[in-house]
């Protein structure tokens, strides 16, 4: 059998390698348009910052190695320009020589990925100081340009994963980084309350953040961006565009094969297109969200490799289960680790699901162990089933491990009860006996069963400004160090003696630092007949993290006397 693969990176190279493992006799040819196959796109931002010191380290496998180890023929610098389905051939053009020829296939795997978006309507978008970053050459050209022109100011457009990783690395490399983002938050898979922590982290490390701004023009040494009709000008020696990617589908559509509503290539559970001899995998393919059933494209390396394996398996006679994706991703933002999986609030709402959230900020390990730090953790669950829908975690500690746990639970259709009982590793060095994920499940169950009412950090400003009755149950020195303006201080240790100070006839909102002591206070009050008490979800720490960024950047009047972040 002769198998041709178009695209030689995450999906294409994985498919070819799996095919060889399954079939030692097949002839396998991979065509890659670029000068490298099998390189680490995910490490490109870290090359900008010097974490990956040498360009050559980005290339995982050379064509020579592919041939020597696996007898797979990888032809780099070779673009497939057309698929001829009737005679089972692809047309190939050598990029450097222009030579054209055709190659027969019995089975074809199309893995062309997705290309960075560069909107032609924006004046200056094709200027020589404007870059995108998809492959090793792109990253090397960008880095060389920055060094050659002795760049100082770099504008990164787009606050997605690539944009944020690039912003971090460029800052570490000594550039002044300006980040423009059209939405009012970075990293759309996170909700605003979680993203706010990362906004602060970026700002604390010197990244100039322009949220809610749209790029409108690129000039020689500046860019223009607008927000609600107001134009600003930002210094820019170079610009990195990272505003998303579009699936490369030209070959497929010109071959008369279908794409879906997401513009990704339509495939079945075995990654076959409408033509049973043509498979498609990776960033170019439309899949579906397992939680909502909606079609979607997930441009991530893990899913690309899994799809590649599934297609190869099917070519060799094995079938796959239809699973779709849940969407799990992570990144580092300077000192913070951030990870998310499944649906965030916006996605749950859009899908028309009835949901609630548990937002906890406990320490990520036993407090007396050096390095203990809060881990902001948000769990989204379905009401009334308790089905786990998604989670997000941000902190200095191991956010990724916690989110991987939730990803596994979502994959197994878990409910809050399952998460509550989940038995996880514990040592004070790594966590707490009741891990953050267990804790979030407990809070979720309290909410689900009506044992706890909560208001969200996003609602506290309005409440505080309206003079709502807020009770801070932290000890007096903590209160004096910084508190919500107008809050009453009744420490938990004094609550028994002062319980009658708490009104019964108006709504009362309680908080402490992280929500644990205020929950005890609420239990005590409810036990004694108070039915008007509500917890401030996220508590004081969550509020500080939520409000700080806007107070600093928008010049708003702070609603706390002194922001604290520990």
299 interacts with ligand FAD by CB under 6 A: yes
Q: Which of 219, 340, 485, 512 is catalytic?
A: 512
Active site residue 42: no
- Rounded Cα gap, residues 291 and 295, in angstroms: 11
- Rounded Cα gap, residues 91 and 81, in angstroms: 6
Question: What's 288's DSSP letter?
Answer: E
Q: How far is the CB of 41 from ligand FAD (least distance, A)?
A: 4
Which one of 283, 313, 345, 398 is in contact with ligand FAD (CB under 6 A)? 283
- Rounded Cα gap, residues 535 and 518, in angstroms: 7
By CB under 6 A, which span of 6-14, 170-178, 216-224, 406-414 interacts with ligand FAD?
Answer: 6-14
Which one of 302, 335, 384, 428 is in contact with ligand FAD (CB under 6 A)? 302
Q: How far is the CB of 34 from ligand FAD (least distance, A)?
A: 4
Q: Show the binding pattern over residues 54-93: x = contacts ligand FAD (CB under 6 A), - = does not.
A: -------------------------xx-------------
Q: How far is the CB of 282 from ligand FAD (least distance, A)?
A: 2
- Rounded Cα gap, residues 491 and 536, in angstroms: 16
- Rounded Cα gap, residues 74 and 8, in angstroms: 8
- Rounded Cα gap, residues 28 and 75, in angstroms: 11
Q: How far is the CB of 4 from ligand FAD (least distance, A)?
A: 10
By CB under 6 A, which span of 32-40, 457-465, 521-529, 543-551 interacts with ligand FAD?
Answer: 32-40
The answer to whether residues 546 and 563 touch, using CB atoms and an 8 Å cutoff, is no
By CB under 6 A, which span of 98-106, 298-306, 348-356, 416-424 interacts with ligand FAD?
Answer: 298-306
Q: How far is the CB of 141 from ligand FAD (least distance, A)?
A: 14
CA triple 263-131-58, angle to 5 deg: 85
Q: How far is the CB of 488 from ligand FAD (least distance, A)?
A: 47
List Cβ<8 Å contacts ≥24 apart for 254-259: 254/82, 254/83, 255/82, 255/83, 255/84, 255/85, 256/85, 259/286
- Rounded Cα gap, residues 406 and 379, in angstroms: 9
327 interacts with ligand FAD by CB under 6 A: no
Binding residues for ligand FAD, how many (CB under 6 A)?
32
Beta strands in 482-555 (DSSP E): 488-489, 508-511, 533-536
Both tokens of 409, joined, read 């639970």
> What b-and-e string marks burial along 311-330, b requiring 16 or more CB atoms within 10 Å of the CB?
bbbbbbeeebeeebbbbbbe
Which one of 49, 63, 112, 397 is in contact with ligand FAD (CB under 6 A)? 112
189 interacts with ligand FAD by CB under 6 A: no
- Report CA-CA distances (Å) from 405 to 234, 263, 395, 430, 443: 42, 32, 16, 15, 17
Both tokens of 557, joined, read 């009047």
Q: How far is the CB of 98 from ligand FAD (least distance, A)?
A: 15
403 interacts with ligand FAD by CB under 6 A: no
Q: Which is nearer to ligand FAD, 42 or 183 (CB)?
A: 42
Q: Show the binding pattern over residues 114-153: x = contacts ligand FAD (CB under 6 A), - = does not.
A: -------------------xxx------------------
- Write the burial class of residue 119 (CB in 10 Å: 0-12 exposed, 13-18 middle, 19+ buried): exposed
Which one of 18, 26, 31, 471 is in contact with ligand FAD (CB under 6 A)? 31
Cα atoms in the Cβ-side hemisphere of radius 13 Å centred on 494: 14
33 interacts with ligand FAD by CB under 6 A: yes
Which one of 17, 26, 29, 44 is in contact with ligand FAD (CB under 6 A)? 44
Which one of 22, 125, 301, 422 is in contact with ligand FAD (CB under 6 A)? 301
38 interacts with ligand FAD by CB under 6 A: no
φ, ψ of residue 334 in degrees (nearest 5): 50, -115
Do the bridges between strand 222-227 and strand 230-235 make them parallel or antiparallel, or are there none, so unpaired?
antiparallel
Which one of 42, 125, 176, 523 is in contact with ligand FAD (CB under 6 A)? 42
Which one of 32, 153, 382, 435 is in contact with ligand FAD (CB under 6 A)? 32
- Rounded Cα gap, residues 161 and 164, in angstroms: 5
- Scan residues 212-271 and list those touching ligand FAD (CB under 6 A): 248, 251
Q: Which is nearer to ligand FAD, 248 or 356 (CB)?
A: 248
168 interacts with ligand FAD by CB under 6 A: no
113 interacts with ligand FAD by CB under 6 A: yes
The answer to whether residues 445 and 420 touch, using CB atoms and an 8 Å cutoff, is yes
- Catalytic positions: 512
List residues near ligand FAD by CB under 6 A. Answer: 6-7, 9-12, 31-34, 41-42, 44-45, 79-80, 111-113, 133-135, 162, 248, 251, 282-283, 299-302, 304
């Amino acid at each position: 059998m002769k198998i041709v693969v178009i695209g030689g990176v995450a999906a294409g190279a994985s498919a070819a390698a799996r095919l060889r493992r399954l079939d030692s006799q097949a002839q396998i040819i991979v065509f890659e348009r670029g000068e490298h196959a099998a390189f680490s796109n995910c490490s490109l931002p870290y090359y900008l910052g010097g974490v990956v010191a040498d360009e050559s380290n980005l290339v995982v496998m050379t064509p020579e190695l592919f041939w020597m180890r696996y007898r797979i023929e990888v032809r780099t610098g070779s673009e497939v320009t057309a698929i001829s389905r009737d005679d089972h051939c692809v047309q190939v053009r050598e990029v450097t020589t222009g030579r054209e020829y055709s190659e027969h296939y019995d089975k074809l795997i199309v893995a062309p990925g997705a290309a960075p978006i560069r909107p032609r309507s924006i004046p200056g978008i094709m200027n020589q100081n404007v870059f995108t970053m998809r492959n090793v050459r792109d990253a090397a050209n960008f880095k060389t340009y920055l060094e050659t022109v002795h760049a100082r100011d770099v504008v990164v457009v787009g606050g997605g994963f690539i944009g944020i990783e690039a912003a971090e690395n460029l800052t570490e490399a000594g550039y002044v980084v300006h980040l423009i983002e059209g939405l009012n938050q970075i990293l759309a898979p996170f909700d605003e309350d979680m993203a706010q922590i990362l906004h602060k982290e970026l700002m604390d490390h010197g990244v100039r953040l322009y949220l809610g701004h749209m790029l409108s023009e690129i000039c020689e040494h500046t860019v223009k961006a607008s927000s609600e009709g107001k134009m600003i000008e930002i210094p820019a020696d170079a610009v990195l565009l990272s505003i998303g990617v579009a699936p490369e589908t030209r070959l497929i559509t010109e071959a008369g094969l279908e794409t879906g509503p997401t513009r990704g290539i339509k495939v079945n559970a075995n990654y076959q297109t409408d033509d049973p001899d043509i498979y498609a995998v990776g960033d170019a393919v439309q899949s579906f969200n397992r939680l909502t059933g909606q079609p979607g494209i997930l441009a991530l390396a893990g899913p690309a490799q899994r799809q590649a394996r599934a297609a190869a398996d099917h070519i060799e006679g094995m079938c796959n289960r239809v699973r779709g994706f849940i969407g799990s991703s992570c990144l580092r933002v300077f000192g913070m680790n951030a990870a998310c999986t499944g649906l965030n609030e916006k996605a749950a709402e859009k899908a028309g699901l009835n949901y609630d959230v548990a937002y906890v900020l406990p320490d990520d390990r036993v407090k007396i162990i050096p390095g203990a730090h809060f881990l902001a953790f948000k769990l989204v669950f379905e009401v009334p089933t308790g089905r786990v829908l998604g989670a997000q975690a941000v902190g200095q500690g191991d956010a990724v491990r916690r989110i991987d746990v939730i990803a596994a639970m979502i994959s197994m259709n878990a409910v809050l009860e399952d998460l509550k009982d989940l038995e996880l590793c514990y040592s004070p060095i790594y966590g707490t006996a009741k891990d953050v994920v267990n804790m979030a499940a407990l809070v979720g169950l309290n909410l689900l069963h009506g044992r706890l009412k909560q208001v969200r950090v996003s609602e506290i400003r309005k409440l505080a400004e309206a003079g709502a009755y807020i009770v801070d149950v932290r000890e007096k020195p903590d209160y004096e160090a910084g508190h919500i303006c107008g809050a009453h201080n009744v420490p938990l240790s004094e609550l028994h003696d002062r319980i009658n100070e708490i009104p019964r006839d108006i709504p009362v909102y309680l908080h402490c630092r992280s929500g644990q002591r205020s929950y005890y206070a609420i239990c005590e009050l409810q036990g004694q007949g108070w039915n008007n008490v509500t917890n401030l979800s996220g508590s004081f720490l969550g509020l500080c993290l939520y409000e700080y960024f806007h107070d600093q950047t928008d010049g708003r009047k702070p609603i706390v006397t002194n922001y604290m972040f520990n």
